[in-house]
Structure 1
Amino acid sequence: MITGECNCGAIAFEISCKVSDVYICHCSICRRSTGSGGIAVVVINNNDFRWLRGNDLIKTWDKPGHDWQTSFCKSCGSSLPGANDDLRMYVPAGLITNGEENLKVAHHIWVSSKAAWDEIGDSGKQHPEDFQG
Structure 2
Amino acid sequence: MATGECNCGAVAFKIEAQLSDVFICHCSICRRSTGSGGIAVSIVDNDSFSWIRGKGNIKYWSKPGHDWHTSFCSNCGSPLPGKNNESNMYVPVGTLTSGDEKLKIAHHIWINSKADWEEICGSGKQHSEGFGD
TM range (shorter): over 0.9
**Percent of residue pairs identical:** 65
Partner of 2:13: 13
- Report the 3-state secondary structure (helix = DSSP H, G, I; strand = E; otherwise coil) of the residue aligned with 1:100: coil
C-alpha distance in structure 1 between counterparts of 2:48 and 2:128, whole Å: 29
Partner of 2:109: 109
In structure 1, the gaps of 5 or more residues are none
C-alpha distance in structure 2 between counterparts of 1:80 and 1:64, whole Å: 20
Instruction: Provide the TM-score with structure 1 as the length reference.
Output: 0.97
Partner of 2:98: 98
C-alpha distance in structure 2 between counterparts of 1:47 and 1:63, whole Å: 27
Partner of 1:27: 27
Deviations 1:15-68 (A, max 9, x none): 011111000000111011001100000001111100000011001111111111
C-alpha distance in structure 2 between counterparts of 1:18 and 1:61, whole Å: 29
- Report the 3-state secondary structure (helix = DSSP H, G, I; strand = E; otherwise coil) of the residue aligned with 1:14: strand
Deviations 1:86-106 (A, max 9, x none): 111100000110111111111
Deviations 1:80-128 (A, max 9, x none): 0001111111000001101111111110000111000010111111011
Residue 122 in 1 paired to residue 122 in 2?
yes
C-alpha distance in structure 2 between counterparts of 1:86 and 1:99, whole Å: 24
In structure 2, the gaps of 5 or more residues are none
Paired positions, count: 132
Instruction: Provide the TM-score with structure 2 as the length reference.
Output: 0.97
